[in-house]
Amino acid sequence: NAFYQMKYLSYVVWPDHLVGIGEAAFAGCNLRGALILPEGLKHIGNNVFEAYGCQNSALSGELYLPTTLEYIGSGVFNPHDGHKCNLTGVFSLPANIKYIGADAFGPCHYLTGIMTIPESLDRLERGAFPENLTGDVTIPKGIKYVGGL
C-alpha cells in the first residue's frame, strides 16, 4: 500500500529496473492517462490499480504489458464504487505469463482483441478477462488450473 489513496497522485514515472509492484500499491490513486509498464517488470500484485475511493474514474488510455511479465494478481484494475476501467487498446498477454488472478482484467470493457493464451500460463483464475474479447480460445497444454464461478 505504498501510495494507497493518495488521491492527488496522477502520474507515475517507472524506473527501468522495476521487477515488481506490491499489493494495492496505487489503490485509490487518481492515476491518469496510458498505463505503460516497463520492460523487466515480472510481478503485479493484487488490487494494484484498484480505484477504491477515487472521486473520478481511474486509468484511461492505452494499456501496455511488458514482455517480461509473469504474474498478474487478482482485481488489478477493479474499479469499485460504480467507476469504470477506461483502459483501451488491443489486449495482448505477454509470452512469459504464468499466472492471472481473479477479475484481473474483467472490468476493462474497452480493451479489444482476439484471445490468445500463451503456452507459459500455469493458472488462470475466474473472471480474468473482459467479456468483449473475441476469437477462439486454446487452453495451453501445460496449464494446471482454470478457475470457475
pLDDT digits (tens, 9 = 90+) for 31-60: 777 788 899 999 999 988 876 554 444 566
pTM > 0.75: yes or no: yes
* Over residues 15-25, mean pLDDT: 90
User: Is the model more confident about 66 or about 63?
Assistant: 66
Report pLDDT for 82. Answer: 59
* Over residues 65-73, mean pLDDT: 95
State the number of CA atoms in the 13 A half-sphere of 107 facing the CB: 25
* Residue 19 pLDDT grade (very low, low, confident, very high; cuts 50, 70, 90): very high
